[in-house]
Amino acid sequence: MAPFDLVSALVGGALIGLAAVLLMLLNGRIAGVSGILGEALTGDDRGWRVAFLIGLVAAPLLLGAAGRPPPMPWMPSSFAIVIAAGLLVGFGTRLGGGCTSGHGVCGIARLSPRSIAATLVFTATAIVVVAVMRHGFGG
Amino acid sequence: MPTVLAALVSGLIFGFGLAISGMTQPTRVLGFLDVLGIPSGTWDPTLAFVMIGALAVAAPGYLLTQRRERPLFAEVAAWPTKVEIDRPLIAGAVLFGLGWGLVGLCPGPAIANLGTLSSRVVAFVVAMAIGMLALDFWRRSRTRAYPAE
């Protein structure tokens, strides 16, 4: 994997922030991906939500067409783990009202105590899971 | 129609941000979450700097946006109104964290990776959608059973 690159991390992050500001400035909506997908699946007013998701899928493909394809994502070999993780992420983000984008970026940007709490909890939980998976119990 | 185009542009920029920052690669995310790698020098700080970059734009951008009476293409700005740190928030964050730590994918990067047509990415996104529908179904059946709540 490519080494840590400060500039692309900051520039990529700034683009994510810009996307969030634009969606609020133009449409009055929070750029939370779990909420957008969840409401696109179950709610009404689907048009803008589906368009946002299409943009999300199209962006890496456009980078690829421009000769800068993002690396293929590494995934666990076990489909059982992949599916269990997907179910947890889907159920958990809707129950908790947001994910890394809605709570982590949009919520922290407006200093929402709910979003700060949620971000601390899901990050701490994921850190514990990775510690157990990579290093076993007790490191 | 303007709201649909605006959302498409926002989604595109969001996707460019995820791809350029490396956040579509789950091993980068797991490398950040692996804090036990800090002493051995294998820790990947990328996610922290992606957050700094995102917040450096979103925080002042939101402040400026809040001064406007209404969005350009909509009647009202749908700012979240909930303030209480309640049990669903914490329980949901724990469940999400469990899944995030297992694979290193959260909803944005999972969807942005659909174009790779990787069978595991597709399986993750389908499972994620089923999880979302399950929560919706559970909430609806609860509301029917306890309409006063």
* pLDDT tens profile B33-69: 999 999 999 999 999 999 999 999 999 999 999 999 8
How far is it, in rounded angstroms, from Cα B87 to Cα B57? 31
Considering the domain architecture, whether residues B70 and B6 belong to the same structural domain is answered as yes
Considering the domain architecture, whether residues B4 and B46 belong to the same structural domain is answered as yes
Q: At what angle do helices B26-33 and B87-103 cross, to 10 degrees?
A: 120
Contacts of B132 (CB under 8 A, 6+ apart): A34, A37, A38, A41, A42, A90, A91, A93, A94
Helix (H/G/I), strand (E/B), else coil: A40? helix
Task: Give the end of a domain, one of B18, B44, B79.
Answer: B79
How far is it, in rounded angstroms, from Cα B149 to Cα B142? 9
How far is it, in rounded angstroms, from Cα A36 to Cα A44? 11
The residue of chain B nearest to residue A100, with distances taken between CA atoms, is B106
Considering the domain architecture, whether residues B72 and B99 belong to the same structural domain is answered as no
| pLDDT tens readout for residues B82-109 | 999 999 999 999 999 999 999 999 999 9
Mean pLDDT is lowest, of B15-19, B79-83, B92-96, B145-149, for B145-149
Cβ–Cβ gap B85/A110 under 8 Å? no
Chain centre to alpha carbon of residue A52: 13
pTM as predicted: 0.96
Considering the domain architecture, whether residues B3 and B72 belong to the same structural domain is answered as yes
Asked whether the beta carbons of A92 and B128 are under 8 A apart, the reply is no
Considering the domain architecture, whether residues B49 and B92 belong to the same structural domain is answered as no
Considering the domain architecture, whether residues B119 and B67 belong to the same structural domain is answered as no
Considering the domain architecture, whether residues B63 and B113 belong to the same structural domain is answered as no
Number of structural domains, chain B? 2
Which pLDDT score is estimated for A138?
Answer: 52
A88 to chain B: which residues are within 8 Å by CB? 95-96, 98-99, 102, 131
> Hey, is the C-beta of B122 within 8 angstroms of any chain A C-beta?
no
Given B80, B90, B132, which is nearest A112 (Cβ)? B80
- CA torsion A57-A58-A61-A63 (nearest 10°) is -120
Considering the domain architecture, whether residues B68 and B92 belong to the same structural domain is answered as no
Asked whether the beta carbons of A98 and A35 are under 8 A apart, the reply is yes
> Hey, is the C-beta of B67 within 8 angstroms of any chain A C-beta?
no
In chain A, % of residues over pLDDT 70? 97
Considering the domain architecture, whether residues B74 and B4 belong to the same structural domain is answered as yes
Cβ–Cβ gap A19/B102 under 8 Å? no
How far is it, in rounded angstroms, from Cα B119 to Cα B109? 15
Given A22, A70, A133, which is nearest B13 (Cβ)? A22
Task: Give the end of a domain, one of B63, B79, B95.
Answer: B79
Considering the domain architecture, whether residues B89 and B72 belong to the same structural domain is answered as no
Candidates B128, B136, B143: best to mutate against A (most CBs of A within 10 A) is B128
Q: How far is CA A2 from CA A14, A44, B100, B121, in A?
A: 20, 42, 22, 21
> Could you tell me the two tokens for A89?
């992420």
Candidates A5, A95, A111: best to mutate against B (most CBs of B within 10 A) is A95
Task: Give the end of a domain, one of B79, B106, B121.
Answer: B79
How far is it, in rounded angstroms, from Cα B81 to Cα B91? 20
How far is it, in rounded angstroms, from Cα B115 to Cα B122? 9
Q: At what angle do helices A79-95 and B87-103 cross, to 10 degrees?
A: 160
- Predicted-complex ipTM score: 0.96
Domain that holds residue B146: 82-149
Per domain, the residue ranges of chain A are 76-139
> Could you tell me the two tokens for B103?
């694979």
The residue of chain A nearest to residue B125, with distances taken between CA atoms, is A86
- CA torsion B51-B53-B57-B59 (nearest 10°) is 40
Considering the domain architecture, whether residues B74 and B87 belong to the same structural domain is answered as no
